[in-house]
Amino acid sequence: MAGRTRVLLQCSSALVAEDDWHVGRFSLLAGELARWAEVTARNREPSHTGEDPVILGLSRAHYEELWILAVDGGVGLTPAECSAVNRFQREGGGVLTARDHGNMGMWLRALEGVGFANYFNDPSAWEPDVSRHSPDDRETPSILWPNYHSGRNGDVQRVIAVEPLHPLMRNPNAQSGRIEFFPSHPHEGAVFVAPGDSRARTIARGCSQATGRSFDLAVTFGRVPEAPWRAICESSFHHFADYNCDTARGAPSFVVEPEGDAIRRNPHLLDDIRAYVRNCVEWLAAD
């Protein structure tokens, strides 16, 4: 493939209020992507029909990759827009999705492959393990489960790379040669390999700071003849949010949990997530 990889960094919601999650709160991610790709970063912009013409027109002629930040409360892309994403995948386009706790991004279930690696607070999309049908993070009672507590915003969580080591989890600049830290968050969502999906695998796990439970952080999907695209499913968009990398940049006012200061004290803790972003760009675009 000639030239730089073209990436659409797409928030699932329209910008209704500044005091909310929107693409402007992922400027550090956009900047890091721009080191390795040609990036278009945007919020959803529905026309008078209620649908976004850019999403409806998704094509490999315009982009090689789609990074979806599902920052909505459960209603984001419309059925027609989801069909456009599925068409883009079938054309060979790479897709990364990132949601969060409870039912945030629940519409992702309409996406082929990657959608069914996401589990929500709904009987149609519960985690298979019934022992997990309860809050993991109990510090914020208003947050619905699944809500795995990987640490405070502004801190990092230790990442357990699943063997065999996936290319996404390599960091040649680290002493161990692998990704060891992600930004943490008090209530991550739930992602798992869906039963019977032979092209999916868990590549990274975290450990709850509240209960000690292990939980999946990222699931990948390889290409097969009947599904000729790659995809990555993240448990939380907070792995990439400005606030989680630099709490001084602020968050919406409804984010009330105590902040951590590990990254402020040691900015090199972000080296791994930067390496991970580059790995994602390269892996999703690879033929």
Judged against a pLDDT cut of 60, whether residue 2 lies above it is answered with no
Nearest C-alpha neighbor of 84 from the set 164, 162, 180, 10: 10
- Band (pLDDT 50/70/90 cuts) for residue 182 is very high
Confidence of residue 211 (pLDDT cuts 50, 70, 90): very high
Percent of the chain, pLDDT > 90? Answer: 97
Average pLDDT over residues 20-37: 98
Q: Which two tokens stand for residue 162?
A: 């699943």
What value does the mean pLDDT take over residues 256-273?
98
> Tokens 């008078």 map to which residue?
48
Checking if the pLDDT of 128 tops 50, the result is: yes
> Quick check: 66 and 10 in contact, CB under 8 A?
yes
Q: Which residues contact 21 (CB under 8 A, 6 or more apart)?
A: 11, 13, 69, 71, 237, 241, 252
Residue 215 confidence (pLDDT) above 50: yes
Q: What residues does each domain of the chain span?
A: 5-120+135-285
pLDDT tens per residue, range 43-71: 999 999 999 999 999 999 999 999 999 99
Query: What tens digit of pLDDT does each residue of 237-264 get?
Result: 999 999 999 999 999 999 999 999 999 9
Cα–Cα distance measured from residue 150 to residue 146, given in angstroms and rounded to the nearest whole number: 12
Tell me the whole-structure pTM to 2 decimals: 0.97
* Higher pLDDT, residue 1 or 99: 99
Judge contact between 276 and 284, C-beta under 8 A.
Answer: no
Model confidence at 112: pLDDT above 90: yes
- Is residue 1 scored above 80 in pLDDT? no
User: Residue 147: CA atoms inside 13 Å, Cβ hemisphere, count?
Assistant: 21
pLDDT at position 287 is: 74
Q: Which CATH class, in words, describes the domain spanning 5-120+135-285?
A: alpha beta
d(CA 153, CA 27): 17
Q: What percent of the chain has pLDDT over 70?
A: 99
Q: Please state, rounded to an integer, the average pLDDT across all residues of the chain.
A: 96
